[in-house]
A = this chain, B = another copy of it.
């Protein structure tokens, strides 16, 4: 990276200037029949599939190395930090979520794999936004001497991929956090569930 990304200004965004997101005022009738108001944010980019985004939990198997997954590191302006996330991306207008998962994994990490599972539609922050997603599981089987593939990033995308043994994932995320990186809540929860199974059950 030739330059460190940095924020130069933050301004209020008038609704009529917003291109990617929008606000709704939702009027709803609650369980007592009382009319109430809820404020919500939405993405404007949701396509035919009805799903905003996909994330990918990858399992890389190799004859002589421990089972691993891939996380990506990228600067995210809303939180002004390098974030640690599962590979992920928006689903295109006419695309199916499973296809988006394989496409994004290859673009962001170079790896090609076999889709083994796609979750139902799940909601990212339902107290505040309509944002939804699916979590795909992709299996990658590497040969003993197979080289790591090249990423296929678009111009203006700066994404670092890191292959992490599954046994080290939780500790690695803690370390990233101590270094000032921001771990995505969904990736953290996945790693915490894995860690919990190993240590508390």
Interface residues of A (CB under 8 A from B): 1-15, 17-36, 38-43, 53, 57, 59, 67, 75-79, 81, 83, 85, 88, 119-133, 135, 137, 156, 158, 166, 174, 177-178, 182-198, 200-201
Contact = CB atoms under 8 A, between A and B. Distances in A.
Contacts of A31: 1-5, 75, 158
Contacts of A42: 78
Copies held by the complex: 2
A123 B79 contact: yes
Given A3-B29, A27-B9, A41-B21, A192 B126 contact: no
Contacts of A40: 21, 77-78
Contacts of A11: 24-25, 27
Give 5 nearest A-B pairs by CB, closest first: A193-B193, A197-B197, A40-B78, A38-B77, A13-B23
Given A8-B28, A125-B129, A14 B17 contact: no
A25 B21 CA distance: 11
B125 A125 contact: yes
B119 A188 contact: yes
A94 to B, nearest CB: 21
Contacts of A24: 10-13, 78
Given A25-B12, A128-B41, A122 B188 contact: yes
A165 to B, nearest CB: 11
Contacts of A32: 2-3, 156
A20 B41 CA distance: 11
A119 to B, nearest CB: 6
B21 A122 contact: no
A9 B129 CA distance: 16
A6 to B, nearest CB: 5
Contacts of A33: 2-3
